[in-house]
Structure 1
């Protein structure tokens, strides 16, 4: 991915030298396999359940690690800020076409754990968007785990897909889709609500593809092999594949993000068409057609 010449966003905060005093670390193991099942968009209720036991820890207290960023950390900061900048340019343009102003999200880089308005999050939850503070949270070391443990790709464009998916959740929040799904939480059975969650996640995958479609037109940043790397990661994080890796039976009624095939399908469709009209249609079509 040709990203080096892109403009960096000013909406990024690097907290990797600041860690919550609460114990939120620990190895990956089964926790990571289960938690990463929610990665790319943890909803507030699932996030609070996942972090049970640390929510009552003192808030606003951090420790600071001394020393400058390593060269690898500095590169990951520049990369994240640049990709965030690309998303801002694309969505500013797309919102203008519908007569709206785009209010970009913030992004926070962290390590081990981070305090958010959705709760105190351990790094094991993976990248997520918190609607309460309209912020994308990312521990860049997650991409190594995505590649080494889940069979995804740590290539630059694959990482950009992950960031664009989280920004897609912000776009959903601004357009009202997130609240539509959240309103169903207490009014429909769990299995039906999970279907709405899948719909929301696949829509965010589609929005990541739309971003790549228009980003390529504006910045010409996609290089040979890039799309394949994103497909590899999308395929690695389908609910069906994650359930198998966790040693569980395939349980479609428990899906919250969609199958590997669905995630790849909607990302590619967004990438190919860039059609924003499909965003609305995804909330109207029968679930079986997703």
Structure 2
């Protein structure tokens, strides 16, 4: 989707992780959703030793409601180079308007994060839940996360321990070149909306279900991923209602080409597509994210209904419909 040129971007919601790398996995054990030779996209990392109810395990609270004018809920620290010499942070800092988001991938990330978080901040209170901000950390190569080392080989993921989304700066190029997704804006925006879908699951206390059954075409892991796809579709349906801190609408109306691009990205990261490309055969018993068909279906379900109740993948009898 295209941003309105005059929309103002809030860079406080995106921070640099530099390229510092990190140590091993965090204590407590990590279940990784997905993984084909380290090349899987959209990896969900769930630290089940932590709190999966959406509250801060240290504070015992659920955090503050989202306020587009309040930057106190966002980590402003930079894990990269100090003194303004971090190129990732420099790229983030130059993102000012929707016009920037339309021509630059980093700025598109900033604008998408702004829009997705505004959307859920308006939607969740209808069901008695307050949305809490989760920053996106952009990095080159590798960086440290609350769930261990984040690396470019892992693809984007949400870490429930530190409540952050992690994204390597080179990922969108690989989404097109390695996995064959369309290169349109919504193909990129869908990826971020999916990861924020995991954050919403975290807030709702649903994320831990992935641990109950981690592999298989009908597994809880697959159902968790497909629900995040459905949540991404919900955002797309109402993305044009999202606004910046000044009340300007962030995005222009979605087009059919936008939807085609999003469906292309959803199919590209289907377990069957990735397995066929990586190993020359499809093994549904090891699936963690769902088939290309299922991922497209649940994204479309969210997009056409805009109803979180229609995203109940856990009770669905046929995930491919």
2:267 is the alignment partner of 1:235: yes
Cα separation, 2, equivalents of 1:205 and 1:119: 25
Report the TM-score, using the length of structure 2 for normalisation: 0.72
- Which residue does 1:268 correspond to in 2? 300
- Relative to structure 1, is the Cα distance of residues 206 and 6 closer, same or farther in structure 2, using a 3 angstrom cutoff? farther
Cα-to-partner distance string for 1:34-88 (whole Å, 9 max, x where unaligned): 3342x2232247xxxxxxxxxxxxxx99667947569977533322111111011
Secondary structure of 2:236's counterpart equals: helix
From 190, 202, 213, the counterpart of 2:237: 213
- Select 2:227's aligned residue among 176, 192, 203: 203
Structure 1 residues 218-247: Cα deviation after superposition (integer angstroms, max 9, x where no partner): 443424511111111111111111111012
1:90 to 105, 119, 127: 119
Which residue of the partner structure matches residue 285 of structure 2?
253
Partner of 1:15: 17
SS at match of 2:189: helix
Which residue matches 2:60?
none
- Partner Cα separation in structure 1 for residue 260 and residue 217 of structure 2: 32
Q: How many Å apart are 1:124 and its aligned residue? A: 0.9
Structure 1 segments unaligned to the other structure (5+ residues): 24-31, 46-59
Change (3 A) 1:5 1:157: farther
Q: Give 1:35's aligned residue.
A: 38
Distance 1:234 1:120 in 2: 25
What is the number of residues matched between the two proteins?
261
Q: Once the 2 structures are TM-superposed, how far is the Cα of residue 175 of structure 1 from its aligned partner?
A: 0.6
Q: Does 1:146 align with 2:175?
A: yes
TM-score normalised per structure 1: 0.79
Find the aligned partners of 2:91 and 2:176 in 1 and give their Cα distance.
17
Secondary structure of 2:219 counterpart: helix
C-alpha contact 2:268 2:292 (8 A) present in aligned 1? yes
**Matched residue SS, 2:37:** helix
Counterpart in the other structure of 2:67: none
Change (3 A) 1:35 1:194: farther
1:161 to 190, 195, 208: 190
Q: CA RMSD in A?
A: 3.0
